[in-house]
Amino acid sequence: MKPLEGIKIVEMTSFIAAPAVPRVLGEWGADVIKIESLKGDPSRTQGGVWNIPYSVEENPGFDIANVNKRFVSLNLKSEAGKEAAYKILENADVLVTSFRTKALQRLGFSYELLSEKFPKLVFAQILGYGENGPEKDAAGFDATAYVARGGILTSMTEPGESPLNEVNAYGDFQAAMCLASGICAALVGRNKSGKGDKVTVSLHHTALFMMNIAIVASEYGNKYPKSRRKVANPFNNTYKSKDNRWFVFCAPEYNRDFNKVMRMLDRPDLIDNEKYRTVERVNELGVNSEIIDIISEQMAKKNLDELTRLFKENDLAFEKGYTPDEILEDEEAWANDCLRKVKYPTGGEATLITSPVRFKSISSPPMNLSKPLGYHTREVLKDAGYSDERIEAMEKDNVLICGDN
């Protein structure tokens, strides 16, 4: 039995962060119903922004956050559409939404109203900035609330260089995993108390949590952005090989490994060197740049393959900086089912990423591709007690879209 089998999740979401939450929970066995407007989730047409081709039948950019769902299209601004959504929610366990709080209040789907109508419902919401403060009602996206206000934009670059150009939706998926964990905890709590809960995750708070060390350390004078020539531990840094590839080697125990690394890099003359032997001495004397330059010079004498072999043989963590196209060829990713080939009705093929949490009870989590707007509207409403005649009348009145027509 899958961990979330028997759990019904309804979502009212758009773009990436919030839709990715039920997508993951669907892999874990939940029945997910996505309610979209008559125009649909804007993410259905974002493929062009990400240089990913899209069509009704082949839409990998949408599938990224929308596999393993049933798709319903309702006009929630109409009384009939709102009533249909309430019927769907009657036996739901969780509502996931990215709608802003004021919009939910206007539509009649606020936490206060829904918790009164459905006391056992877990209400889960992705926010830009949180429930309080001057920005609580402001628009918040991954690039602004997470990357910019979260400090990532200005911390992950060389001093004096242009800011980080973040990968699309980088923070969205992190916020999604946070909310997924919160939902699971709320379901456990409901099993004990019999009552639902409200769970919120903001993009801004998620970024601050991921930046934990940098923010706390800044209180003590540890400034970011940090030059690679001034890092506190020269053995946890970026370097470049003879064939011009950047890589990272990470040896947190600098003092233990110093002599070993000097031998590996053909600098036995520096073994037990008083200036460089311990990380405390390096930072006390401020000679970080000196030893980093020495290491850089030695690294630049060897090609990436030779360095990779050398560090792996000596059991020191080392990885080249993979490009996304290299990741698609990474045998480690394929061996662990991180990547999954999917086929579309058009004959097209794409590689999608599975969620990172694995259960022994689910050897290979499903990846059921998305369907056109409103594809399951009739099926879901009939399950809720609506007749075909009523559904057809509602479609004529522009209350819903039945994509199975």
β-pair type (70-74, 31-36): parallel
Residues 6+ apart with CB under 8 A from 313: none
**DSSP string across 170-197:** HHHHHHHHHHHHHHHHHHHHHHHHS---
With CA atoms as reference, report the closest residue to 145 among 7, 304, 17: 17
How many helices and strands in the chain, by DSSP H and E?
Answer: 17, 12
Burial group, residue 385, by CB count within 10 angstroms (0-12, 13-18, 19+): exposed
Annotated catalytic residue, options 63, 93, 142, 172? 172
β-pair type (31-36, 8-12): parallel
With CA atoms as reference, report the closest residue to 31 among 63, 1, 4: 4
Indicate if 269 belongs to the active site.
Answer: no
Tokens for 356, please give them: 């990172």
**DSSP string across 72-121:** EEE-TTSHHHHHHHHHHHTT-SEEEE-S-HHHHHHHT--HHHHHHH-TTP
Tokens for 212, please give them: 């934990």
Would you please indicate which residues are annotated as catalytic (active-site) residues?
Answer: 172
